[in-house]
Amino acid sequence: MALEHAILVSLLEKPGSGYELARRFERSIGHFWTATHQQIYRVLKRMEADGWVDVRDVPQQGRPDKKEYAVSASGLSALAEWLHEPVQPESVRHDLAVKVRGAAFDDPAALIGEVERHRRMHRDRLAHYLEGERRDFGGSDAAGTPDSGASGPGGSDAGRELQHAVLRGGIAYERMMIAWLGDVLDTLHRLASRR
């Protein structure tokens, strides 16, 4: 996936300025696609030149006018074309997993602090995701299906349901990582006690 496609999806959910778009990446899209503010602005300029987005100046009181971006017909066509292309499953590069395997050739206890740090980070991210789920999809039923009366980000009911599906994937991933890191810690402690 290119950053352009993530930007198109975000702008289809709600047009906005480059700054607003960067904030959305920090809050939600960043859960599965990261980009710096500079990258977003650079790509927006290219998308404008390619005709994928329309731009309008929005006057502001006491501040310079801002540029608001919206997806053009050409951008919508580009997104539709990309949506119909097959995507290969992503290969995982996981430095910590290599370190865990490498601990067999050193002192396994030396890796405990690093694994604990990773587990804390995943717990923090899980808490952040769960808070976002409560905030944005608080009206969900036990199966995680958004209540049709619930309010939140995005446009259509389908959009909300799909946003929630992506968020649930992030939640499941963080829970899996926390469980795996707990297993790794148990293993490291067991191996360290044998030394």
- Burial (0-12, 13-18, 19+ Cβ within 10 Å), 74: middle
> What whole-number distance in Å separates Cα of residue 4 and Cα of residue 47?
7
Q: How confident is the model at residue 144 (pLDDT cuts 50, 70, 90)?
A: very low
Question: Residue 17: which of 74, 50, 58 has the closest Cα?
Answer: 58
Name the pTM for this structure: 0.73
Contacts of 6 (CB under 8 A, 6+ apart): 25, 29, 33, 35
> What whole-number distance in Å separates Cα of residue 39 and Cα of residue 34?
10
Q: Catalogue the E-assigned strands of 5-94.
A: 53-60, 63-71
pLDDT tens digits, residue range 97-113?
999 999 888 899 999 99
